Amino acid sequence: MGGGGRGGRSRTQRKHFRQSRDNVWKRSKSDPNANSSAPSNDPNDPNPNPNPTWTPFATENASFDAYYKGQCIVETTEWDQFVSVLRTPLPATFRINSSSQFSDDIRSQLENDFVHSLRDEVAEGVESETEAIRPLPWYPGNFAWHSNFSRMQLRKNQTLERFHEFLKLENEIGNITRQEAVSMVPPLFLDVHPDHFVLDMCAAPGSKTFQLLEIIHQSTKVGSLPAGVVIANDLDVQRCNLLIHQTKRMCTANLIVTNHEAQNFPGCRLNRNHEVMEPDQHKGQLLFDRVLCDVPCSGDGTLRKAPDLWRKWNTGMGHGLHPLQVIIAMRGLSLLKVGGRMVYSTCSMNPIENEAVVAEVLRRCGGSVKLVDVSSEVPKLIRRPGLKTWKVYDKGTWLASYKDVPKYRRSIALASMFPSGSSFHESVDTDCNVEMGYDVTDGVGENSEDGVQEMVNSVVPESAEVSDFPLEHCMRIVPHDQNTGAFFIAVLQKVSPLPAIPEKTKKRISKPCAEPLNTLEGERLLQVDSLESAQAVLETVPEENVNGHEPPAIDVEVSPVTCEEKNSKETQEAHNVENMTKVPGKRKLQIQGKWRGVDPVVFFKSEAIVNNIKDFYGIDEHFPFDGHLVTRNEDASHVKRIYYVSKSVKDVLELNYLVGQQLKITSVGLKMFERQSARQGSSAPCSFRISSEGLPLILPHITKQILRASPVDFKHLLENKDVKFEDFADAEFGKKAASLMPGCCVLILGKGNEVGTEPIQVDDSTIAIGCWKGRSRLNVMVTAMDCQELLERLVIRLGSENGSSVHVVKSSIDGEGELNGKIDGDAIAVTEG
């Protein structure tokens, strides 16, 4: 549920997706070296005669080699294999939405169709013993698949066109998600249950969030919702758009998308003396059963899909991000319930961002947090143990211990970066604030020949400190083990409340500017003003080089003037949130609690409208309405969309109201009803139609305005988009359709060639679509892509003699990808979005 209407600058455009970390094996037009050409020697290259403006990135960096050889992240004997794989494009991987209605159909299509057809079609260029596509052996249920083709090959190779079109269609519908294989791993180790409250701290662009939602919904019965909730957070408003776009394909009422700095995520604490909550109680404080802490990182584990990182990589990137990663991880643990599990992960190979962060977190938490040995979980995933020893490289020197750091560099090479961290207190003032106010750009970006030579010639100390923590329980995934990217994962469990840390006295500031103090369990995290250093290094690294997350803004104690400027900036950014309405002329500034420029989240309580909807569709009393409907407009008479939320989301929203709306919510709920504003729609007995997203949930509870059609008529309607009553193959069905009340109705695919007279029963296999009943015809109210996909499913399910493909009458699709219904006399124009 977005923040308002569809107009203005708010809508996420394709250019925003191009900014994500994709397979970027060619230079951008803005690159000064883009005009130099290099012929391809690869016989499997999909484009043997490249455009003169195309040239591959250089995939070498002497500093990279020297640094990671010095850190011994792989054995010397396998180094050549390691870097050889790193220099090849990443194969495409994707995951089937296991909670989708068609998940079994899609898996069967892959196993019985594409596995064989691709092997036959693409025999040339693929080793005979290599499968073109195969399920990932470690992912449960054969729901994740690996392709031996890069995304560029899928786009360019004509023999792969049918498979590529299949991937595009199912991805857009939400039946599959294209996702890097190693990115699928962290949610598996979270051990999420359907009743869990889950926080994804740095969620954009949303593939892991989608995966978490799948797990929560997996065992849910038709017409019901799980008891859990996923809160997906991201700092950047524009990346929240990508997150919303990704997750709305899930059609879930159990998701809240928020826009906060991860290290300052609100705890929504109602009672400051409240420490431990009962398992089913969420009223006093917002705590989570599971936390996914996939932090911003230098991202050198993604070199295979972002080869531009080879020339940008330097040793300073990890140093600058280390303090930010520590406080984000600490914030995640403070929001975790006792007994809960948090996964800390990065797509970096740097121990300063990985094991050093985990060791520092364990050090700060005392015995209240333990590192979990998960070696027996996901058994077919090849992983390596975490490092127990590493060094710190600073200014041309390898440092084995913090005592080796010159005093003038101790604000840069922090004690927490070393395995022992034994000198930690030397760098802490009496108020427990780490002195990190340094300029980490000093030494960042050293790509000159002198800098590289200095790194290569530096002497690696023979001995280094060894951590006392069981860091071997951490997991390292390296590219050449299973042909993937690189990744780091650590599973932490909270066994008792975190130790109390004294608070630093904060400057007094005016109340309108004050952020809520999130001091859960009496804990005070590092002061955010120490993050200036982290911000400096993040600004030197482009967005795509920090694990897909924007650099964090600094939220420090400020004067009223600065706070006003901050609010002004928030107001400006808020107009970029998805679905913010932009009306010509002046528009009243929307306010969500203290968040200016953000549409409010309001419980919808108009009994007249709700009763009208209930009566028109015959919705039974078993479907809960009270407290589950929300809108983004305080004026009930002008509400355009009504969203449905689960009980868990309802509880979170109520708590958020009680604590003064600390959560800045950009999206919440499942779009259930939408006002039909056209002339014909406004004259219908009920002006609200059921959205295609909400239809599966409410379908079992509808007793009116619902019909069952034969496969022939159902297909006929999908192909033609609107059909006159007398043109249906089943005349009796046409009469029943004509007798419906004007307005929205629901059409269910029947079994066999006859409609039948028995009562309509809905189960997991039921296929239904929304339609609009006019004076003389029915109009389909689903997108063109949905129509195409449903036709494909019909052909497969019904065993059509036409084979695995079907001719789809393509309708015009506007710039936002929505079906334009025809206007023909009494027919009504309908767009679904």
Q: Which residues are catalytic?
A: 347
Q: Strands 176-178 and 197-200: what pairing? A: unpaired
* Residue 638 φ then ψ, to 5°: -115, 20
* H or E, element range at 673: strand 670-675
- Alpha-carbon gap, residue 35 to 51, rounded angstroms: 10
3-state secondary structure labels for all residues of 747-800 = EEECCCCCCCCCCCCCCCCCCEEEEEECCCEEEECCCHHHHHHHHHHHHHHHCC
* Residue 250 φ then ψ, to 5°: -75, -20
Residues facing 257 on adjacent strands? 232, 667
- Contact (Cβ atoms closer than 8 angstroms) between residue 297 and residue 324: no
- Contact (Cβ atoms closer than 8 angstroms) between residue 138 and residue 381: yes
Hey, is 177 helix, strand or coil? strand
Please tell me the total number of residues recorded for the chain in this structure.
Answer: 833
Nearest alpha carbon to residue 657 among 349, 235, 268: 268
Kindly list the distances between the CA atom of residue 455 and the CA atoms of 59, 72, 397, 418, in Å, as whole numbers in the listed order. 18, 15, 8, 19
Residue 38 exposed, middle or buried by CB count within 10 Å (0-12, 13-18, 19+): exposed
In 521-601, beta strands by DSSP E: 591-592, 595-596
Nearest alpha carbon to residue 3 among 354, 264, 333, 259: 259
- Alpha-carbon gap, residue 255 to 2, rounded angstroms: 12
DSSP 8-state code for residue 434: B
* H or E, element range at 315: none
Residue 826 CA from chain centroid, whole number: 42
DSSP codes of every residue in 642-656: EEE--HHHHHHHHHH
- Alpha-carbon gap, residue 724 to 778, rounded angstroms: 6
Kindly list the distances between the CA atom of residue 106 and the CA atoms of 95, 113, 167, 745, in Å, as whole numbers in the listed order. 11, 10, 11, 28
Residues facing 688 on adjacent strands? 675
- Contact (Cβ atoms closer than 8 angstroms) between residue 311 and residue 58: yes
What is the b/e burial string over 195-218, where b = at least 16 CB atoms within 10 angstroms of the residue's CB? ebbbbbbbbbbbbbbbbbbbbbbe
Count CA atoms within 13 Å of residue 156 on its CB side: 12
- Alpha-carbon gap, residue 361 to 339, rounded angstroms: 17
Name residues whose C-beta falls within 8 Å of residue 230's C-beta, 6 or more positions apart in sequence. Answer: 198, 199, 200, 209, 212, 213, 216, 254, 255, 256
- Contact (Cβ atoms closer than 8 angstroms) between residue 251 and residue 832: no
DSSP codes of every residue in 708-744: EE-HHHHHHHHHHSEEEGGGSSSHHHHHHHHTSPSEE
Angle, alpha carbons 162-168-171 (nearest 5°): 135
DSSP codes of every residue in 362-413: HHHHTTSEEE---TTSSTTS--EEPPS---EEETTEEESSGGGS-GGGTTTS
DSSP 8-state code for residue 347: S
778 is written with which tokens? 């029915």
- Alpha-carbon gap, residue 720 to 13, rounded angstroms: 30
Name residues whose C-beta falls within 8 Å of residue 409's C-beta, 6 or more positions apart in sequence. Answer: 394, 395
